[in-house]
Amino acid sequence: MGLLSGAARGLVRGADRMSRWTSKRGPRTFCKGRGAKGTGVHGRDGKFVQVREMVPELVVPELAGFRLKPYVNYRAPAGADAPLTAEQLFRDVAAPAIERDFRDGTFDPERLDKYGFEPTQEGKLFQLYPKNFPR
């Protein structure tokens, strides 16, 4: 709803207050970004230094012979999978090993990292808490 349509509608004069204030409006000295993330820093001599870690890199695997396609056949029934919970993951991955060791009598509560327990998130690249990856 721009200025002209508003004026034609209700004979209201004045600037268009309802549209977004973007770099396409305003005088030619008004420059504003549209929300792109920066990829570097400005150096002291005025030059722009691009930082490789700030440039997004798409990691795509080899898709030759990949059988999943964008659309699905109409005959496929609706899936009946429950969302994965932490308890389900524990039962599938860690519980069998713990049960087996307990029955054998070799379960040691001090050595839980055998089953995947991480006492601290220090030193990990993708820490779970506080979460340091965007996904």
Residue 107 burial (CB < 10 Å; 0-12/13-18/19+)?
Answer: middle
Considering the rule CB under 8 A, would residue 8 count as an interface residue with other proteins? no
Query: Nearer Cβ to other proteins, position 4 or 125?
Result: 125
Query: Which uninterrupted H or E stretch holds 40?
Result: strand 40-42
112: CB partners within 8 A, 6+ apart: 119
Residues 18-77 that bind other proteins (CB under 8 A): 59, 61, 67-77
Q: Which of 92, 106, 114, 121 binds other proteins (CB under 8 A)?
A: 92
What is the closest distance, in whole angstroms, from the C-beta atom of residue 63 to other proteins in the complex? Answer: 13
Residues binding other proteins: number (CB under 8 A): 27
